[in-house]
Amino acid sequence: MTAAQVGNGARLSAQPVPDGGTPTQTWVDAGLQLPELDLTTCRELVVVGAHPDDETLGFGATAALLAESGVRAQIVSATDGGAAYPELSLLQRYRLEQTRREELRRAAGVLGLYAPVSLGLPDGQVAAHQQRLADLLVEILDGKPPGTWCAAPWRGDGHPDHEAVGRAAAVAVEQTGAVLVEYPVWMWHWARPGDTAVPWGRAQMTRLTEAALERKQRAARCFESQFTAPTPGGEPVLPPAVVHRLLTVGEVAFR
């Protein structure tokens, strides 16, 4: 079985987020030499995230480049990210979901994308609703022009929701003829250069412009709810080291 089929949840669990994971400098020093992702083959882009911010942190600059070139690009978020802080009450969780929807709307605007679509599946339980998600993605992708890309979290990313979204996207493209492009988010945290759990042979990297990177940085700042824990002494979902790494390593896609 491939790494994508097996999943890498154990690898992510073994690297607690507060511990920082693989240092940014380790990735920078590796100087990944990967084929360039050919953006000219994309006729339309649907970029799917498990939670609001996945698409921006994993594929935001690429999406911005495509939108700038005239490609219709839109975000689809499987969940509203309400389970980011498990200690919240039901009312607090509801408010967080509304906040994250608004953060996503603002980020999409910064990236130059169409208004996002939120599917409202339960955060933390996407695997249990994977077929429903696949069906929804088929509805979204059906009738799109040939050459439409469906960008989704890599099926081996480590986070269970990310992997479930990737699997659902893989099913949807099989039924619609869209092109699957998988992007990593948490891989940069638990993997290391040359890691055999990563399908480097399928990896391609976007040649990013300074303008696209700047848009990604500004869009990432929209997700303020993830940078500060809502309760004293709590841990944010996205500590500074994690955000810095995702804004520094570039954008890789598995084809």
Assign residue 112 a region (left: φ > 0; alpha: ψ between -120 and 50; beta: otherwise).
left
- Tell me what pLDDT residue 232 has: 83
For the cut 50, the answer to whether the pLDDT of residue 1 exceeds it is: no
Best CA proximity match to 152, nearest among 172, 127, 135 = 172
Q: State the average pLDDT for the chain.
A: 96
Assign 233 a pLDDT band (cuts: 50, 70, 90): confident
Q: What ranges in the chain are assigned the alpha helix state H?
A: 3-6, 9-13, 24-30, 54-68, 90-111, 130-141, 160-176, 187-190, 210-220, 240-246
Q: What is the mean pLDDT of residues 162-166?
A: 99
Domain residue limits, the chain: 3-12+38-254
Determine the 3-state secondary structure of 232 from DSSP: coil
Q: How confident is the model at residue 3 (pLDDT cuts 50, 70, 90)?
A: very low
CA distance 153 to 55: 8
H helical segments located in 81-190:
90-111, 130-141, 160-176, 187-190
pLDDT of residue 6: 63
How much is the average pLDDT of 157-166? 99
Of 79-88, 161-170, 185-194, minimum mean pLDDT range: 79-88
| pLDDT score of 231 more than 90 | no
Tell the CATH topology of 3-12+38-254.
Answer: Rossmann fold (3.40.50)
What confidence tier does 187 reach under pLDDT thresholds 50, 70, 90? very high
State the DSSP H helix or E strand holding residue 253, giving kind and residue range, or none if neither.
strand 252-254
Q: In what order do the strands lie in the sheet with 72-79?
A: 114-121, 72-79, 44-49, 148-153, 179-183, 252-254, 203-205
Q: Please give the pLDDT value at position 4.
A: 41
Question: Could you read off the pLDDT of 45-87 as tens digits, one per residue?
Answer: 999 999 999 999 999 999 999 999 999 999 999 999 999 998 8
Reference 7, options 161, 134, 201, 170; nearest CA is 161
- What are the tens digits of pLDDT across the range 92-121? 999 999 999 999 999 999 999 999 999 999
What confidence tier does 2 reach under pLDDT thresholds 50, 70, 90? very low
